[in-house]
Amino acid sequence: MAKKILFINQEIVPYVPDSDLSLMGKALPQAMLENGHEIRTFMPKWGIINERRGQLHEVIRLSGMNLIIDDTDHPLIIKVASIAQTRIQVYFIDNDDYFSRRQMTVDENGKDYTDNGERAIFFARGVLETVKKLRWVPDIIHVQGWMSAVVPLYVKTAYHEEPSFASTKVVTSLFPTTMNSQLDENFKQCIEFRDAKASLLKNYNDRFDFEELNKLAIDYSDGVIAAHQNVSESLMKYAADKNIPTLAYPGEDFQNAYEEFYEKI
């Protein structure tokens, strides 16, 4: 049965360089389109993205909202583009301080940005607020990449009474480690929004690293997928121990396996 699937991706080719994460960011939405599903796709508007070459343009009717993070207002800008030779339209979450004036998750010296936690929070809330404005009700939200890891928490707490997400199932895809340091110590404080209270994070480490961030995503997901053969075995076991449905890495021919998994959850 055709579904409405929201893909929230950290990276998508051709807007960023090829990687396992960015290639799947394009391949998965394309596969689900081919299977007859209705999709929406989001990613951050990283500073390395060439807007002219990618033909990005701002969607004025969706932009203009301010998101308050750590008592500071951050304007939300929404841009959109279509991937050439596909039917995939990509929405970009943009903000001058968090994305436009930066590289991606690391700086020019290869070091993780110290405010990556705030950036992930802004991205998650930006996507969910935009989907509300679109008046689109996804059956499934599928997150790929640690920059999307806050989304499951927000869907199940802060946005659980919103009509757009009240019945939505959340799937998290796990990838190999792409984050080398810990998030800033104010992450738990910054994450607070509506019913997403800092107290919900009391059983996690005070400083979130890659593994802890993925545990957070797993805890609020309805299904977990190993999207790469080198995914952390401990994270897959963590999900299984919590009786969350899991899908082992199905290989490059993933389309039918993912389709069956969606039906399962």
Task: Summarize pLDDT for 136-155 with one digit per residue, the tens.
Answer: 999 999 999 999 999 999 99
pLDDT of residue 159: 97
pLDDT of residue 34 exceeding 90, the answer is: yes
Q: Is the dihedral of CA 67, 118, 199, 142 positive or negative?
A: positive
pLDDT of residue 210: 95
pTM to 2 decimal places: 0.97
pLDDT of residue 33: 95
pLDDT of residue 172: 98
User: Tokens in use for 96?
Assistant: 């001058």
The answer to whether domain 4-264 has CATH 3.40.50.620 is no
Task: Summarize pLDDT for 63-92 with one digit per residue, the tens.
Answer: 999 999 989 999 999 999 999 889 899 999
Number of DSSP helices (H) and strands (E) in the chain, helices first: 8, 11
Task: Summarize pLDDT for 236-253 with one digit per residue, the tens.
Answer: 999 999 999 999 999 989
Please report, for the chain, the start and end positions of each structural domain, with discontinuous segments joined by +: 4-264
Output phi, psi for 169, to 5 deg. -95, 145
Indicate the Cα dihedral angle 66, 89, 147, 152, nearest 10°: 80
pLDDT of residue 178: 85
Task: Summarize pLDDT for 167-224 with one digit per residue, the tens.
Answer: 999 999 999 988 889 998 899 999 999 999 999 999 999 899 999 999 999 999 999 9
DSSP character for 181?
S
> CA–CA separation, 151 vs 172, rounded Å?
10
What value does the mean pLDDT take over residues 34-46? 97
Nearest CA to 239 among 261, 224, 258? 224
Task: Summarize pLDDT for 110-138 with one digit per residue, the tens.
Answer: 999 999 999 999 999 999 999 999 999 99
**58-78 per-residue burial string, b: 16 or more CB within 10 A, e: under 16:** ebeebeebebebbeeebebbb
pLDDT of residue 177: 87
pLDDT of residue 87: 87
pLDDT of residue 180: 86
